[in-house]
Amino acid sequence: MENVNQEFTPMPRIGDKAPEFKAVTTQGEINFPSDYQGSWVILFSHPADFTPVCTSEFMTFANMEKKFNEANCKLVGLSVDGLYSHIAWLRTIKEKIEYKGMKNIEVTFPLIEDITMNVAKKYGMMMPGESSTKAVRAVFFIDPKGIIRAIIYYPLSLGRNFDELYRALIAMQAADAFNIATPADWRPGDDAIVPTAGSCGTAKERMENQKDIKCHDWFFCTKPLSKEAVEKAIFKK
């Protein structure tokens, strides 16, 4: 039976168009995702300003922002706090916090104020079983055409691994550029998985006739993909 007390908001899924919204941020107003057309964008939520895990995450992400930008990816943060809280928190981070060798960290990417929770609800960032007043740690990877390509969720107490977010971004970009898939723990320079069309033995033989392709079985073939080729495609060197 339907529970009338439970608000139901459908969550966006991989392959969906990123839901549109206008928002006020620490860098002015944004129209999402249209302002980001042509770039990858990582839209991520954090539970609250002036909290320790979030502070460590913001310092880490801001410290890596140049790397993400060089891979044609922009960062946009969100929490259900107001603009003045965001400004005060980011100022405190810059002026006072020294952590793991990082200091004077200036967060220059936009941080959305979402006191109405409209955006957080649209993106399925509110998970009442975890918290009804704070967004969970959600990460949406959105491609240059505005399509959601990957979604990762973490609970309130667990800080994210930003090297993994970068690895996932580069792996998706490599998959697009070379029409490949990436195996477990793939990093640039590792072999890539080639799509296997057709059936069983014949597909394996066909694949093995192509230079450099190694088939572990008919459904699992890999080929070398150099780090240089990946970097050339992604960083447009």
> Which residues are designated catalytic?
54
Q: Is 54 in the site for ligand BEZ (CB under 6 A)?
A: yes
Number of other residues whose CB lies within 10 A of the CB of residue 212: 10
Nearer to ligand BEZ, 25 or 79 (CB): 79
Judge contact between 45 and 125, C-beta under 8 A: yes
- Say which residue the tokens 């969550």 belong to: 11
Which residue stretch of 43-51, 72-80, 180-188, 217-225 sits at the interface with ligand BEZ (rule: CB under 6 A)? 43-51
Which residue stretch of 6-14, 25-33, 44-52, 92-100 sits at the interface with ligand BEZ (rule: CB under 6 A)? 44-52
Using alpha carbons, select from 194, 196, 187 the residue that is nearest to residue 227: 187
Judge contact between 168 and 150, C-beta under 8 A: yes
Q: Is 48 in the site for ligand BEZ (CB under 6 A)?
A: yes
Which residue stretch of 29-37, 50-58, 116-124, 183-191 sits at the interface with ligand BEZ (rule: CB under 6 A)? 50-58
**What is the rounded distance in angstroms from the CA atom of residue 39 to the CA atom of residue 20?**
16
Write out the binding residues for ligand BEZ, residues 117-146 only, by CB under 6 A: 134
Q: Which residues of 29-40 are buried (b: 16+ CB within 10 A; e: fewer)?
A: ebebbeebeeeb
Nearer to ligand BEZ, 154 or 178 (CB): 154
**Binding footprint of ligand BEZ on the chain (CB under 6 A):** 47-48, 51-54, 134, 156-157
